[in-house]
Amino acid sequence: MSTILAIDTSTEACSVALFYQNEITHDFIISERDHTKKILPMVDKILHQAGCSLSQLDAIAFAQGPGSFTGVRIGIGVAQGLALGIDVPMIAVSTLQTLAQGAYRTKRAIKVIPAIDARMGEVYLGQYHYQDQQWQAIIPECVIKPEDVVTKIQHIDNDDYSAGTGWQTYPNMLAMIKSSEVLLPEAQDLVVIAQQKWLRKEVVKVEDVEPTYLRNEVTWQKLPGR
């Protein structure tokens, strides 16, 4: 059975979760500007609570984005450092997909349209259906103006749920959509997706990790010398 640590600092939330011995231990706080100070102590806390050491990890999962540029970089940097230190692979999980999993956990929603406030009058948008024990992306993740969401979505019905801060900021983007009340991604949902990806062998080497920013003007620099 795999042991996976998950880290998410891609939004104003800061969260950590551990899948160990078929149980999930997790911690979640709101910390808009202190991710770098909070995340490692949270990792230590979770490992201690579960009675697990870093050396027992099989993989480290991380929020790939989209989200806060700085937050995504912090989370990936911490996850890379830990994974490099214990020589384990990494598992990339979409922040939008994590929100969808949160809606499934809280509402058993199997059709979710997550949207994160991207500032600059835009949202990061996705559309997911839960089928065959995994999330299927109905549309590619994108950054879009709220008024264009209605033309982007493939299909919507009474079974669709919202998730993410985009709906809080722009509540009228779509009619007929139910609120899951999930606004921020949580690592306890990320680690569930990561476990599924682990079983499908969807892992990535530390040096090959890349974030999802969606905005072209943002660049990412890999680990030095890689």
**What whole-number distance in Å separates Cα of residue 101 and Cα of residue 35?**
23
pTM: 0.92
Residue pLDDT, tens place only, 77-134? 999 999 999 999 999 999 999 999 999 999 999 999 999 999 999 999 999 999 988 9
53 burial level (CB within 10 Å; 0-12, 13-18, 19+): exposed
Q: Are the CB atoms for 5 and 70 separated by under 8 Å? A: no
Q: What is the pLDDT of residue 216?
A: 64
Identify the CA nearest to 20 among candidates 48, 39, 62, 42. Answer: 48
Q: What is the pLDDT of residue 157?
A: 87
Q: What is the pLDDT of residue 7?
A: 98
Is the confidence at residue 218, as pLDDT, over 50?
Answer: no
Residue pLDDT, tens place only, 165-215? 999 999 999 988 999 999 999 999 999 999 999 999 999 999 999 999 987
Residue pLDDT, tens place only, 1-39? 799 999 999 999 999 999 999 999 999 999 877 888 899
What are the two backbone dihedrals, phi and then psi, of residue 144, each rounded to the nearest 5 degrees?
-150, 155
196 burial level (CB within 10 Å; 0-12, 13-18, 19+): middle
